[in-house]
């Protein structure tokens, strides 16, 4: 039996309609493939992804910064208040076998970087570009659309899980 | 519609057969009542409670101290590696609307005390007794059996949720 | 050369004048013996202990629950905002080689229990009494006054540091 | 009286001699200006900065990922084991009024991004360059040498402290 894969979807707490649509599509596809969706539990990309996943019967885990479960978006099926503030970003990463970043601001970048630091593969859809001393750093698996994002994330996650079992 | 209640079940990572049976019964009853079971994801009381809950189709969340999902007991349905070590005890409490302590050692006491500190009601089944300067401190709701534990925890949790909504 | 010992002083964020005096005396003696005082950085026992230590030129570390350094009492020499809320209690314990509990409420009990869980020795001055199933649990080193508290804590801390070196 | 400023110095746990020299110079200058140096407590840039600061009588705080104080570099004056693993990066940021990044890998980027997320100003010396959708994001204050790094960080830190007082 295949182990269940846990995939983080990270991105801005507010976002434009096109980004929201892509987040929703990522959520749908993850649920159809049987993955558990992990996120920060709030609005924007997080809400879009959760809505998509729930529409397909998926499980959606939200690590909330505050101590109030009611701060979760309505599509989080397992809502987890942490009281850790923004440090809960590290929990989103630690709980995931791979991470899909969609757009996003500094919080998203902190999750991308933390994931790369601790060995969680990162797939990016119109998100941050990494560079140092003027040269690009090829660490994010860049993809062109939600279908590619999900396929790549699941492939990388399965490899990561095998490597640590 | 009633909100879903999240109930922590805490106790020793190893335990005697009788304690294990009671943990399992607590898990069964929580699942029958539609509650999400939250725990530290390992063996003993945690595993017993998760096994009971899963047998009744319930959801079981395990916050793991290490970064390895494979350290979860087989009855955890949402297994969350944290990499925070024993500090993950605070997450078990923060994610719960009430806590049921069954037996337990110092780790369990740390969860009981943290819950009382942050206002999460605690139900106790043959667990720690609190006293200061020679006088007992009546803060744990002591019950005699699993059925009472679950009934009391759900009642207290519903009250706690109402109070913060 | 002896390693510097780090001793946590924990207790209520508010307390009566007698408890405050004892906390201050504990702080003085720790500083005279060259120990670093670790605490939660706020008022009551924490402030009393820090004031005593600073009067003797000691170093006082405060792990603050909020993100505001200004929430520290004025006698904290190294004030560390964490933004982790009450979960910062686990940091106070992890940073210490032994812990002195003076009086205290549930937060103090959570620190005592967490310390016992992770192997940090605990010295108690009029603090919680531990019992299970009607029988006392002898895990806290009970002392009668500040001088005994500091002597015992430093002795236990030195042993704990040797054991892990 | 001016409040003491806390400045994080972040960078690789191993680094080339030139980067090490610059880290050491940053540490010296911070100590000469009376700032407390905050870091992750290990080798490379962290050790270089601490060595420089200690040579000038400064205070150096190290948040360690493990539970072992002995993992700190010898120039950490306040060594704080956390047991939180890499999540301790968030503590380095939360404890600081500004952050100086020198070179660095993904861990450094996670600290830069977390700082920008929570409003801690970031000064960069040959470190990551941020870009999104092909366009640069000007969020790091880039400087050319240690003297500029320290001057800019202290100026930004003082502004940040004033803004929240």
Q: Which residues of C touch D54 (CB under 8 A)?
A: none
Handedness of CA D68, D73, D76, D77 (dihedral sign): positive
Minimum distance, in Å, between the CA of residue A31 and any CA atom of chain B: 15
Res. D52 pLDDT band, cuts 50 70 90: very high
Q: Closest to A129 (Cβ–Cβ): which among D105, D117, D132?
A: D132
CB contacts, 8 Å: A127 with chain D: 132
Tell me which residues of chain A have a pLDDT lower than 50: none
Answer yes or no: do D84 and B86 touch at CB < 8 A. Answer: no
Which DSSP letter does residue C19 get?
Answer: H
- For residue D84, give how far its alpha carbon lies from the nearest alpha carbon of chain C (Å): 9
Q: Which chains touch B (3 or more CB pairs under 8 A)?
A: A, C, D
pLDDT band at residue C84 using 50, 70 and 90 as cut-offs: very high
Residue pair A152/A125 in contact (Cβ under 8 Å)? The answer is no
Q: ipTM of this model? A: 0.96
CA distance B73 to B60: 11
The per-residue pLDDT for A20 is 98
Judge: D165–C82 Cβ closer than 8 Å, yes or no: no
Asked if the Cβ–Cβ distance from B87 to D86 is below 8 Å, we say no
CB under 8 Å to B83, separation ≥6 — which residues?
A90, A94, A118, B66, B67, D84, D85, D86, D87
Pick from C48, C61, C56: which is nearest to C6 by CA? C61
* Spatial contact of D48 and D20, defined as CB atoms under 8 Å apart: yes
| Neighboring chain B residues of C85 at a CB cutoff of 8 Å | 118
Neighbours of A68 (CB within 10 A): 13
- Out of B80, B90, B165, the one facing A95 most closely (by C-beta) is B80
Among A36, A93, A95, A161, the residue to mutate for chain B (most B Cβ within 10 A): A95
Contact criterion met (CB < 8 Å) for C82 and D94:
yes
How many CB pairs below 8 A link B and C? 74
* pLDDT score recorded for residue B33: 98
- b/e map A18-41, b = 16+ CB within 10 Å: ebbebbbbbbbbbbeeebbbbbbb
Residues of chain B with pLDDT under 70: 1, 134, 165
The CA distance from B96 to B158, in Å, is 11
- Alpha-carbon gap, residue B103 to B109, rounded angstroms: 10
Which among A67, A70, A118 has the least Cβ separation from residue B165?
A70
Contacts of residue A69, defined as CB under 8 A and 6 or more positions apart, other chains included, come to A79, A80, A81, B3, B6, B97, B161
Instruction: Chain D: list its partners (3+ Cβ pairs within 8 Å).
Output: A, B, C
Cβ-based contacts of A114 with chain D (< 8 Å): 86, 89, 106, 110
The mean predicted confidence, pLDDT, of chain C is 96
Residues in chain A: 165
pTM: 0.97
- From C84's Cα to the closest Cα of chain A, the distance in A is 4
Q: Nearest CA of chain A to the CA of B18: how many Å?
A: 31
Rounded mean pLDDT of D17-40?
Answer: 98
- Give the closest residue to B114 by CA, choosing from B85, B139, B93: B93
Outline where DSSP puts E strands in D33-82: 36-39, 60-64, 78-81
CB contact under 8 A, A116 and D109: yes
CB contact under 8 A, A133 and D118: no
Cβ contact, residue pair B90, C94, below 8 Å: no
pLDDT in tens, C20-54: 999 999 999 999 999 999 999 999 999 999 999 99
> Helix (H, G, I), strand (E, B), or coil: what is residue C153?
helix
Q: Name the minimum distance, in Å, from the CA of D55 to any CA of chain A.
A: 30
Contact assignment for C110 to B113 by CB distance below 8 Å: yes
Q: From the CA of D56, how many Å to the nearest CA of chain A?
A: 31
User: Is the separation of the CB atoms in B28 and B48 below 8 Å?
Assistant: no
Structural contact between residues A88 and A82, judged by C-beta atoms closer than 8 angstroms = yes
Per-residue confidence (pLDDT) for residue A2, from 0 to 100: 75
pLDDT at D165: 67
Q: Is A95 helix (H, G, I), strand (E, B) or coil?
A: coil
Q: Which of B93, B95, B161, B165 to mutate to test the interface with A (most CBs of A within 10 A)?
A: B95
Contact C94 B87 (CB under 8 A): yes
Tell me how close the Cα of C45 comes to any Cα of chain B, in angstroms. 17
The answer to whether B158 contacts chain A (CB < 8 Å) is: no
Residues 57-96 of A with CB under 8 A from C: 67, 83-87
């Amino acid at each position: 039996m295949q182990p269940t894969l846990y995939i983080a979807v990270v991105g801005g707490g507010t976002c434009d309609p096109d980004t929201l649509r892509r987040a929703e599509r990522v959520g749908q596809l993850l649920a159809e493939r049987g993955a558990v969706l992990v996120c920060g539990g709030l609005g924007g990309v997080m809400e879009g992804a959760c809505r998509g996943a729930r529409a397909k019967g998926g499980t959606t885990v939200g690590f909330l910064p505050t101590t109030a479960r009611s701060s979760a978006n309505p599509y989080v099926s397992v809502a987890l208040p942490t009281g850790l503030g923004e440090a809960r970003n590290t929990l989103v990463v630690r709980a995931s076998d791979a991470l899909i970043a969609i757009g996003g601001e500094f919080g998203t970048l902190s999750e991308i970087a933390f994931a790369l630091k601790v060995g969680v593969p990162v797939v990016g859809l119109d998100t941050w570009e990494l560079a140092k001393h003027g040269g690009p750093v090829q660490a994010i698996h860049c993809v062109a659309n939600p279908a590619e994002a999900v396929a790549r994330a699941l492939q990388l996650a399965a490899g990561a899980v095998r490597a640590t079992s």
